Structures are given as C-alpha cells and as structure tokens.
Amino acid sequence: MVEALPDLILRWQAGWGSSRGFRPAEQARGGLHVLVERPSRHREIVALSAEPEILRGLADEVAAAARPTWLTVPTNRPESVEAIVREAGLKLRDEREALMTIPLRRHPPRPAPPPYTCATTMNGTVFETVLRHPDSGVAARGTMAMVGTDAIADRIETVPEHRRRGLGSVVMSSLAGSAVAHGATNGILVASADGQQLYSALGWTTRATVLIAQTPAG
C-alpha cells in the first residue's frame, strides 16, 4: 500500500526534527512551521499540500517574512509548484531533492571495509553511526531517528578524501540494522541529488520530488 503523501511528510518531518533537536512543528495553514534559528534559516515551512490555494498562501507568508525563511514542498507536480513559488518572488534552489522510503528489513547489509571501523550509538530515539579510519579519524557518519515504527535518516555524510569507497552504504546499513533491532519497519529520508543515486542502489524508492525555496534575501 502506498502511503498518502501528507501523512508521509508528517512522519518524515517528525523524525527529521527529532534528529536535529528542533521543537515540535506547529501545523497551520496547510504546512508544518519549524523554528530552526540559524542565521540563514530562521524558520522553515514544510508544505503538506501542493494545492495552489494552500501553496500560494504559504509562499506569500515566506515572501513577507522579516527573517530568512525556507519553504520546502514535497510534490508530484514540481513544475506547477515552481511556477507558484516564483510568482511569489521566492528564490528557488536549483537542485531538486527526493522524498524516499524503504521497508527496512529489505535494506542490504554492507560491512565496513578494512581498515575502517564502524560504531553505532543511541541517544534517546536517535541512532548515530560513525566510521573511522585508523590514520585520519572520522571518515563518514549519519543519524537515524525513530518515531514509532518509522526510522528517518538524516545527514549521511562522507569526508571528501574518503568518498567513492562505499562508506555511505555502510553507514546506512548500520543505521537500518540498528533501527530494525529496535522495532522499526519503515525507512524515510529526503535525499540530495547526489544521494538519490546511492539510496536507489540500496533499494529506496522515490515517493515525491522535493523543491526548496527561500525568501529573496535568504
């Protein structure tokens, strides 16, 4: 059964916010309003619907914001969304991202290649996996937050000099295995353009395109 997109967005944002330590989002006017409190992103609004009336209202709200604000829109109609946010005067990021899912038990195992070592720890409901090289220290890392039976992956990163060695797959495998051991059944993430290739190869499925726009001064 394919999840309804608004429900999937709600579940993704709950885990993403938890992994980053944000306050719970306020749901209003067809979006999830998140206080980020960073100089380049004071707030972020995640649209639960790409219906034109709702999206225009959210886009106008972002355009009128006094402090840098982002509008994140998961959608299966990206061209329509682009037209609305541009009409509101927002600056649209060139790179499209993707909302992706996987049944976690299908996630393929990937052991750490020598001489790397892999360790996963849990802080509350958030797992963190760190891969280390004996000579240069941290080589790759990532987090996965559990919300019910969902596990939301976030900030999967490989240090530049250690890329092209499959370390991202090792991080994801360790996180997925730990989450399954604690009762998670569903994996959810938002992938960058570069990340989509990795996750697709691991069996993740794209559910929606994710567009990100921001206040013109952002």
Rounded to two decimals, the pTM is: 0.95
What pLDDT is stored for residue 49 in this prediction?
Answer: 93
Domain check: are 186 and 125 in the same one? yes
Domain check: are 69 and 147 in the same one? no
What pLDDT is stored for residue 66 in this prediction?
Answer: 94
Domain check: are 106 and 203 in the same one? yes
Mean pLDDT (the chain) is: 95
Domain check: are 114 and 179 in the same one? yes
Domain check: are 203 and 107 in the same one? yes
pLDDT in tens, 136-148: 999 999 999 999 9
pLDDT in tens, 147-181: 999 999 999 999 999 999 999 999 999 999 999 99
pLDDT exceeds 90 at position 17: yes
Structural domains of the chain, count: 2
pLDDT in tens, 24-60: 999 999 999 999 999 999 999 999 999 999 999 999 9
Domain check: are 42 and 111 in the same one? no
Domain check: are 200 and 107 in the same one? yes
Domain check: are 42 and 125 in the same one? no
What pLDDT is stored for residue 1 in this prediction?
Answer: 36
Domain check: are 14 and 74 in the same one? yes
List Cβ<8 Å contacts ≥24 apart for 80-89: 80/50, 80/52, 81/50, 81/55, 81/211, 82/211, 84/52, 84/55, 84/56, 84/59, 85/55, 85/59, 85/211, 85/213, 87/56, 87/59, 88/56, 88/59, 88/60, 88/62, 88/63, 89/63, 89/216
Q: β-strand 69-75 against 41-47: which pairing, if any? A: parallel
CATH number at residue 155: 3.40.630.30
Give CA–CA dist 144/129, Å, rounded.
Answer: 9
Domain check: are 155 and 130 in the same one? yes
pLDDT exceeds 80 at position 3: no
> Of 169 and 94, which is predicted with more confidence?
169
Domain check: are 35 and 131 in the same one? no
Arithmetic mean of pLDDT, 175-199: 96
Domain check: are 85 and 11 in the same one? yes
Residue-range definition of the domain harbouring residue 127: 102-207
pLDDT exceeds 90 at position 217: no
pLDDT exceeds 60 at position 218: no
